[in-house]
Amino acid sequence: MQMARSLFRYHATLGHQFIPGLRARVDHEGGGYLLQTNAAGFRCRHEFVERRTPSLSRILLFGDSYTAGDGVSDRYRFGDVLEELLPGIEVYNFGLPGSGTDQQYLAWREFGSRIEHDLVVIAVLVENVRRVVARYRPFQTLEGDDLVLAKPYFTLDAEDRLTLHQVPVPRDPLEDPDRHREAVDRGGRFQWLREAINRLGPDVKDRMQRLTRYQPLPEYNHPENRDWRLLRAILKRWLDEIRVPAIVCPIPLYQYVEKTASAEAYRARFRSLHAPPRVRVHDPLPDFHRHTAAERRRFRFEHDCHLTPAAHRVLAESLAGCIGPLVERRAA
């Protein structure tokens, strides 16, 4: 996915963030959506206040564009719907489009860890297993020019020690992206083939994936896969730093929701992180699967794979069942 730079600014630690105090209407195939950001540079209806309100349970929510809510207005996002479903909570949304779990962890360190909170929810789009190994990311200017910009990244040594690189993040675009092709997040394997199939339309793409039994993320097939080990190490370090209950919520790609690909591998990998009572892994996929095939197809847009308002509500209702008892126990 390429992102337009007009909504973002450079950030030395994260690579990019929303422009603070932004109010904009973003064109989209779903009819366009309203976007506003707070003074800290995140798409959140709340201004971030260090001290929490005693009568409210505060949840810090981290993720990428699925969490920030690309394609939908604020009130339809699962973080905002959670506030509707669970009166007495406030959700600070740190979702950052185009980011990986590595950048989200850095957002926790830079912004979230200083804010009083009762619960942390890490919403991991399962595709992030690719983003954490990338060192660069495509962006697009208002004029339609394609740029490749640096991002922070971690490496993992033989003893599972993490080392952070490219912080501060270089400002200037890569002059020769082809030289760094293997380090650029292009959204998966066989880019030329995916682009060719995409040009034929979403119906052809869906049929091709069903016929070929396309598996979008083989990185999860083995527990010792290099990319999964890196993602797991980042999550474990993050979870070790959190001093309140935490929920890891793997957000499935549409292939898993629509049952054109097997989700068993990634589900098994994430289950290995489950360590109650402090750390829980909440898998929302069964709640998506309770719906009919036609309903599940409407959980994404016709062309854009982001969650529709209907999908955000399913995800919010699924998470509410996990969060509600934790918040009640905390309040008691």
Would you state the pLDDT for residue 105? 98
Strand partners, 146: 140
Would you state the pLDDT for residue 50? 97
Percent of the chain with pLDDT over 70: 89
- Give me the phi and psi of 75, to 5 degrees please: -65, -15
User: Does position 18 have pLDDT exceeding 80, yes or no?
Assistant: yes
Would you state the pLDDT for residue 329? 73
Q: What is the pLDDT of residues 71-112, one digit of tens each?
A: 999 999 999 999 999 999 999 999 999 999 999 999 999 999
Would you state the pLDDT for residue 224? 96
Tell me how far apart the alpha carbons of residues 90 and 87 are, in angstroms, rounded to a whole number: 8
Residue range 308-320: mean pLDDT, rounded: 98
Tell me how far apart the alpha carbons of residues 134 and 30 are, in angstroms, rounded to a whole number: 30
> Which helix (H) or strand (E) is 206 found in, with range?
helix 202-212
Residue range 28-48: mean pLDDT, rounded: 96
Q: Whole-number mean pLDDT of the chain?
A: 91
Would you state the pLDDT for residue 190? 43
Distances (CA, A) of 77 to 50, 72, 92: 23, 7, 12
In terms of Cβ atoms closer than 10 Å to its own Cβ (0-12, 13-18, 19+), residue 51 is: exposed
Tell me how far apart the alpha carbons of residues 52 and 39 are, in angstroms, rounded to a whole number: 17
Strand partners, 124: 250
Concatenated DSSP letters for 172-189?
SPPS-GGGGGGGB--SSS
Q: What is the pLDDT of residues 176-186, one digit of tens each?
A: 878 788 889 87
Would you state the pLDDT for residue 211? 53
Residue range 196-208: mean pLDDT, rounded: 55
User: Does position 304 have pLDDT exceeding 90, yes or no?
Assistant: yes
Closest to 14 measured CA to CA, from 125, 116, 166, 126: 166
Closest to 266 measured CA to CA, from 68, 124, 158: 124
Would you state the pLDDT for residue 196? 44
User: Does position 204 have pLDDT exceeding 90, yes or no?
Assistant: no
Q: What is the pLDDT of residues 152-176, one digit of tens each?
A: 999 999 898 999 999 999 999 988 8
pLDDT band at 146 (very low <50, low <70, confident <90, very high): confident
> Which helix (H) or strand (E) is 232 found in, with range?
helix 226-241
Strand partners, 307: 300
CATH for 3-186+218-331, among 3.40.718.10, 3.40.50.1110, 3.20.20.70, 1.20.1250.20?
3.40.50.1110
